[in-house]
Structure 1
């Protein structure tokens, strides 16, 4: 009995310490992320709610629908069933998530993870974000006074609106490096749009959900292989190959 009690006390102490060691957020920012799937068809605009948890030093950014999808499936699995019944899960009502990436930042280092089929690949972001701030351009977003900043990155131009009132160097996806939180971000042609829809206090854990570590070049190669054959060799029919080629032309827009 004494051994069981000691074991129980050790377990409780370990659990409490593990909770204490977790890095907690101070803010939760929700963004409406919209993007054009097919750059040749501006009407192919889709959207998904995204969440940024940040404390100014560490942050994580992920799809809200992905979390809701996991919670839905867990609830289905935990639901009681009668003896002899076969458990069935209704996937039709599960929240659908199109976005397959999440981002983790710590000590000014950003790691981007993408899910492809059953695997998740993580690479370190090496882009240099050289913003140009225009304090003469101003607008109000969610009650905060924001100023304009622009960024040229590769072949794209990004327009951001950030607020000095929240002096946190953070924003959606990999876009950071400004002296205030980014509340609105658009690619110049409207292919990608991030719009903050709420800001609230938060004490949720900030976790690094790391996948298989690769370089960005390795990730791009893996993505190309996946786009060429999503089934990874499990299907090889003329109809499948035709559909794959159609999807490659249709879904041709990516943040990386």
Structure 2
């Protein structure tokens, strides 16, 4: 009985101090314009605290955990390459929403560094009186045009959060489902539970603050000349003001005895292949 009481007390304390709510969304993507039958599906987390929320890939966290254990062991624990391949993600970005300042920040990796910009396009929702039920939640319909797509969202006031997956927020409740009119992208709430604190996502290299329009320029440059982003200073010579927020030692190209020319060729082929498979991105404008 004493042991049961201790366990119950521990669970109570854990729940009492768990200030973050994690919502798990299934993300469905048709990112290859030439092959709409290639449907990618994976889970992403929306972690919501009192101050902010964070949206990111579940696989990213799992990969980071494996890498961290490997580094901490000094290489004594070898990670399984097949396992790492199975945890590849199509959601390489993260989205942070600051509740106090009502601002949304987008981060994505280009080469060795992470680029960050503040979203400068407001979401203007048109709320419909139409309601239905999704799972356990009574939901209401809302529509918006954003980044070249028409989106339909279903939100619930059963949960006290004016938030949602990706950059979506600003409705009177939590977004349970949001999908574009072409059916290329959808975010569907699967489950939720409490966690102790917001995730601390690993940040290799530097975080470089830019304007959104300049990020798009750098992104296009990366697709055509990826190796320029893999050297010290990388794509930083983009001709615009930038602020390095967090420094990182950054691990070099690695590979020791690998032929640099072969590495360059493989890198360029990989990036071009990824660009081809992402010819139907979530944001068209």
Deviation at 1:254, TM superposition (A): 2.1
Q: Which residue of 2 aligns with 1:60?
A: 54
Conserved 8 A contact 1:111-1:122: yes
Point out the structure with the larger strand share. Answer: 1
Q: Which residue of 2 aligns with 1:123?
A: 117
Q: Which residue of 1 aligns with 2:164?
A: 171
Matches within 5 A, 1:38-53: 38-53=32-47
Gaps of 5+ in 1: 1-23
Q: Which residue of 2 aligns with 1:97?
A: 89
Q: Which residue of 2 aligns with 1:155?
A: 148
Matches within 5 A, 1:73-222: 73-79=67-73, 88-94=78-84, 95-106=87-98, 107=100, 108-136=102-130, 138-205=131-198, 211-222=207-218
Deviates more, 1:34-43 or 1:69-78: 69-78
The 3 A distance-change label for structure 1 pair 77 and 188 is: same
Q: Give the match's secondary structure for 1:130.
A: coil
Q: Which residue of 1 aligns with 2:12?
A: none
- Name which of 20, 24, 30 aligns with 1:26: 20
Conserved 8 A contact 1:166-1:181: yes
TM-score normalised by length of structure 1:
0.78
Q: Which residue of 1 aligns with 2:227?
A: 231
Conserved 8 A contact 1:25-1:53: no
Q: Give the match's secondary structure for 2:46.
A: strand
Conserved 8 A contact 1:25-1:206: no
Deviates more, 1:139-148 or 1:62-71: 139-148
- Give distance in 2, aligned partners of 1:41 and 1:74: 36
- Give distance in 1, aligned partners of 2:79 and 2:218: 31
Conserved 8 A contact 1:25-1:59: no
Count how many residue pairs are aligned between Structure 1 and Structure 2: 229
Deviation at 1:48, TM superposition (A): 1.9
